[in-house]
């Protein structure tokens, strides 16, 4: 897997604790794929959201958007215009 298709994060085992151990986690950008590819990506996305303590809609929207490319990002942007968080 080439590095240009990966996004790396430093996540915490327990993000609500400042001294929680960290680990590096890489996730592939999602651009297109079959259901299995999307579900794998979605599971990895949830790992990133938990590890980054993304506990608000705004944080979740922002992090998710970083991990999308191509048609998937275009569809997300269209949906965001309709359902964007107001917090």
Indicate whether 57 pLDDT > 90: no
Which residues, listed in sequence order, are joined to residue 72 by a DSSP beta bridge? Answer: none
> Which pLDDT score, from 0 to 100, does residue 47 have?
95
- The rounded mean pLDDT for the chain is 90
| Phi and psi, residue 67, nearest 5° | -100, 10
Share of the chain above pLDDT 70, in %: 91
Indicate whether 53 pLDDT > 80: yes
Q: Where are the domains of the chain?
A: 3-83
Q: For residues 83 and 3, what is the distance between their CA atoms, to the nearest angstrom?
A: 32
Q: For residues 13 and 47, what is the distance between their CA atoms, to the nearest angstrom?
A: 10
Question: For residue range 1-43, what is the model confidence (pLDDT) as tens digits?
Answer: 455 689 999 999 999 898 999 999 999 999 999 999 999 999 9
């Amino acid at each position: 897997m080439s590095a240009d298709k990966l996004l790396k994060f430093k996540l915490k085992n327990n993000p609500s604790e400042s001294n929680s151990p960290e680990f590096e986690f890489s996730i592939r950008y999602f651009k297109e794929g079959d259901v299995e590819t999307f579900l794998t990506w979605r599971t990895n996305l949830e790992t990133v959201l938990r590890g980054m303590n993304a506990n608000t809609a705004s944080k979740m929207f922002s992090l998710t958007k970083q991990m999308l490319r191509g048609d998937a990002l275009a569809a997300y942007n269209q949906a965001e215009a309709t359902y964007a968080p107001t917090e």
